Amino acid sequence: MARPKAAFVCSDCGAEHGKWQGQCGACGQWNTLREVVVAKTQRGAAVGYAGGAARAAKLRDIDSSEDARIPSKFGELDRVLGGGFVPGAVVLMGGDPGAGKSTLLLQVSVALAQQARVLYVSGEESLQQIAARAERLGTPPEDLTVVSETAVERVSELVQVERPHLVVIDSIQVMHVQSSDSLPGSVTQVRESAAQLVRLAKQTGVVVVLVGHVTKEGNLAGPRVLEHMIDCLVMLEAPPGSRYRTLRGQKNRFGAVNELGVFAMTDAGMKEVSNPSAIFLQRPEQMAPGSVVTVTWEGTRPLLVEIQALVDDVQGAHPKRVAIGLDAQRLAMHLAVLHRHCGVSLADQDVFVNVVGGVRIGETGADLALLAATLSSFRNRALPRSLAVFGELGLTGEVRPVANGQDRLREAGKHGFTCAILPHANRPRRAIAGIEAIPVGSLGQALTAIAELPER
C-alpha cells in the first residue's frame, strides 16, 4: 500500500510545497508552512461534475441549454455575475472584513427568499445577530431559512432536506469537515470544506455562495486552492474612508470578467449605485491645477473618473513616481515619452497621481489624462472644469484609439462635459450634441490642444 503523501501548505496563501521550508516560496511569509497529510480519498476525488461513473458522449449530443439563471434582485450584482446566479455554480465573494459581504448577501437572500428557497448559513454570527441585522436593513425576512452552523456535513444534510435554490455560507473560513482532523480555520479545513460544498452544488444544482475574508496581504486565505474549484470569484472592495463599495468579477466561468458593480453602504444596508459616474465626480466649482476627468471603460459601460496629480520639487535622492489606482510603471513610461517626444523633463520632480474615489483603472484609456493632470500640476495651470480626456499613449508618442470611443464621448456629454480631447481614430463621424470633440494624433498635438483651451 502506498504511504500517505505529505505536503506542506502555507497557512497564509495556501500554496503547496513538496518539502518543509522556513519561508513560503509563493507569498514570502515566514514560518507559515504546515504539514498536511493528503488523504487517499481526497486524491481520487477531484472536484468536478463527476457524480458517478464517467460516461463519454459526443459533444453535439449534450444538451447545452443553460438552465435559467436566477437574478439576484440586485442589478449591480447580476452585472458582475453575468446575468444572475447559474444553478449549480459556486461563487466566492471575497473582501476585507467590514466591506459589507454579510450585509449584501443577507439582503440578496431576503429578497430572493420571496420567490425561491434560500438557506443562509452563518458560522460567524448568532441567529439573533442575523435577525437584528435583517431588521436594521428594513426588509422583513419572511421566508428566509437561517442557520448558525460550521459543520459542512450538517449543511449538506440541510440542503438535502430543504432543497434550497441558493445557499450562502458566511464564511468559508469558519467551516469545517467533521471527518477531517486538521484544525478548524486551517487551509486544509478550508479546502476540504470548499471541496465538499462544490460537490454538493454540482450534484444538487444548488447555487452556493461562499464568503471569504481577505488576509492583510490582500490574499483570500487559501485562495489559490479555492480559485480553481469555484466558478466565479467576485471581490467586494471598500476604499478606505469611502462609503462606496465596488464589486469586481475576477473569474467567471459563465460570463465576462472585470465587470464592475457599485454600491453605497448606508444606514439601511447596501444600496445600488446605478449611475456610478455621478458619484466619482463631485468636484469644486473652482478647479485646482492637477485635476482632469477621464472616461474609462469598466466591463460593459463607461465610467467617468477624476485623475489628480501632484508634481513637486524632488524631496530625496531619487524622484518619486507614485500612482494610486493606476499602474506606476505606466506613469514612469509616460513621463519618459513626455520627455523624449515633447521635451518636458520632470527628472527633478516627484510625481504623485491618484484616481479619486478609490477606483482602480486597469485599462489604457486613462494614459492621456494622466499626463494632462501631471502637466497641469507641473505648470500650475488648472484645466477647464468641462473638459474630459481619454486616449492610449504609445511609446513613439502617438495617441492610439481606445475601445468604445463614441460611447465614452457620449457618456461625457451626458454628464455635462462640453469638450473632450480624444484619439484621432475615435473622432465621431457625426457630431454629438453638446460636446465638442478635439481629436489628437500625438502627444504633441494633445499638449497643443490643451494649451489652446480657454483658461477658466
- Per CB under 6 A, residues contacting ligand TYD are 95, 97-103, 133, 136-137, 265, 267-269
Q: Tell the smallest beta-carbon distance from residue 276 to Mg ion (Å).
A: 24
Q: Which is nearer to ligand TYD, 73 or 424 (CB)?
A: 73
- Closer CB to ligand TYD, 137 or 175, in the complex: 137
- 102 near Mg ion, judged by CB under 5 A: yes
- Based on the shown chain and the rule CB under 5 A, indicate whether residue 291 belongs to the binding site for Mg ion: no
In the chain, how long is the greatest CA-to-CA distance?
Answer: 83
**DSSP assignment of 1-61, as one string?**
-PPPEEEEEETTT--EESS--SB-TTT--BS-EEEEEE-HHHHH--SSS--SS-----GGG
Comparing CB distances to ligand TYD, the nearer of 125 and 436 is: 125
Residue 103 near Mg ion by CB under 5 A: no
* Entry field: residues in the chain: 456
For the bound state, the minimum distance from the C-beta of residue 247 to ligand TYD, rounded and expressed in Å, comes to: 12
Q: Which does 194 bind (CB under 5 to 8 A by kind): ligand TYD, Mg ion, none?
A: none
- Give me the torsion for CA of 171, 176, 177, 180, rounded to 10°: 150
Q: How far is the CB of 94 from Mg ion (least distance, A)?
A: 12
- From the list 309, 378, 311, the residue with the least C-alpha distance to 350 is 311
d(CA 421, CA 451): 12
Task: Tell me the closest approach of the beta carbon of residue 180 to ligand TYD, in angstroms.
Answer: 25
Which one of ligand TYD, Mg ion, none is in contact with 163 (Cβ closer than 5 to 8 A by kind)? Answer: none
- Identify the residue whose cell numbers are 457618456: 411
CB 113 to ligand TYD: min, Å: 17
Contact yes or no for 15/27 (Cβ under 8 A): yes
Residue 113 phi, psi dihedral angles, 5° rounding? -65, -15
Q: Which stretch binds Mg ion (CB under 5 A): 97-105, 154-162, 248-256, 373-381?
A: 97-105
- Shorter beta-carbon distance to Mg ion: residue 121 or 292: 121
Q: Closest separation between CB of residue 167 and Mg ion, Å? A: 16
Can you read off the three cell numbers belonging to residue 300? Answer: 460593459
Cβ–Cβ < 8 Å for 427, 435: no
Task: State which residue, 132 or 425, has the beta carbon closest to Mg ion.
Answer: 132
3-state secondary structure of 198: helix
DSSP string over 349-372: EEEEEEEGGG----SGGGHHHHHH
100 binds, among ligand TYD, Mg ion, none (CB under 5 to 8 A by kind): ligand TYD
Please report, as a single letter, which amino acid is at residue 399.
V
267 binds, among Mg ion, ligand TYD, none (CB under 5 to 8 A by kind): ligand TYD
Please state, in angstroms and rounded to a whole number, the distance separating the CA atoms of residues 32 and 27: 10
Shortest Å, Cβ 270 to Mg ion: 12
Q: Report what 99 binds from ligand TYD, Mg ion, none; CB cut-off 5-8 Å by kind.
A: ligand TYD
Residue closer to Mg ion (CB basis): 23 or 129: 129
Interface with Mg ion (CB under 5 A): 102
